[in-house]
Amino acid sequence: MHGMKTIQLLLFANLREKTGKSSLTMDIPENWVIDDILTSLMEAYPHLRPHLTEKIVIAVDGKIALRSSSVSDGQQISLMPPVGGG
């Protein structure tokens, strides 16, 4: 598909539990950034909205990323809820 790229989302902890999946593959428009991916994920899984807060840890191919970060075709985006404890 022209103008599209394929990425893989890796889901951890409660995100994995809420979706019943450890990973999702998404075809996304070429110009999307991580925030667009999260918005699409919330539309597909509305019950994830409270779990995809500003505190979620995002990594692209194992490196911490921002919501404004772009992604390339074939990259893995890991979504990890903040670690609790004290």
Which 3-state string (H, E, C) describes 35-47? HHHHHHHHHHCHH
- One-letter amino acid of 3: G
* Rounded Cα gap, residues 48 and 41, in angstroms: 8
Query: Mean pLDDT, to the nearest integer, of 55-84?
Result: 93
CATH of the domain at 73: 3.10.20.30
Residue pLDDT, tens place only, 29-47? 999 999 999 999 999 999 9
Could you tell me if residue 20 is inside a domain?
yes
Residue 45 makes CB contacts below 8 A (sequence gap 6+) with: 18, 19
Q: Which range marks the domain in which residue 16 is found?
A: 4-80
* Phi, psi for residue 8 in degrees, rounded to 5: -120, 130
Please determine, for residue 84, whether its predicted confidence score (pLDDT) is greater than 80. Answer: no
Could you tell me if residue 22 is inside a domain?
yes
Query: Mean pLDDT, to the nearest integer, of 44-70?
Result: 92
> Model pTM?
0.89
Could you tell me if residue 85 is inside a domain?
no
Could you tell me if residue 86 is inside a domain?
no
Can you give the pLDDT at residue 53? 81
**Based on the structure, what is the number of domains in the chain?**
1
| pLDDT bracket for residue 82 (50, 70, 90) | confident
